[in-house]
Amino acid sequence: MTRTTTPTPVTPTELDTAEVISRFNRAFTGREPGLLTDLVAEDCVMVGVQPAPEGARYEGRAACLEFWQTLAADRSTTFTPYEVFVAGDRAVIQWRAVFTDGEAVFGTGQETSVLGVNLMRIRAGRITEALGYAKTP
């Protein structure tokens, strides 16, 4: 079950941010990497959850888009966002990822489940910053 929490009253900026995050999440839950194309800013910076402790850093639209589109298309990974919080140009996405090929991601050789959170920043309807954090198995 997905629970979305949005503070009230909602301003136009929050609606814009909420829609961007909704489309971002749909790209992963629906395995629709094409939904990401118009969501990423030219100056986007993304820090992934791996490798620990600091995660890989991706800079620029092309690098961030390639990473996310590859992940969204990966049939061995399932993402389930279970809470989304939007405030102005910021959003927090709490999620669970299930990797059916744990060897490729965490070296376990079996299905692996991970809880995580993304801290997102949106400007003019585009993602400018995404910081990922996860509990490792």
The string of pLDDT tens digits covering residues 53-98 is: 889 999 999 999 999 999 999 988 899 999 999 999 999 999 999 9
Q: Note the pLDDT tens digit of each residue in 6-25.
A: 544 445 555 599 999 999 99
54 dihedral zone (left: phi>0; alpha: psi -120 to 50; beta): alpha
* Residue-range domains of the chain with CATH: 3-134 (3.10.450.50)
> Please, what's the largest Cα pairwise distance for the chain?
47
pTM above threshold 0.75 = yes
* Beta strands at 57-59 and 40-47: parallel, antiparallel or unpaired: antiparallel
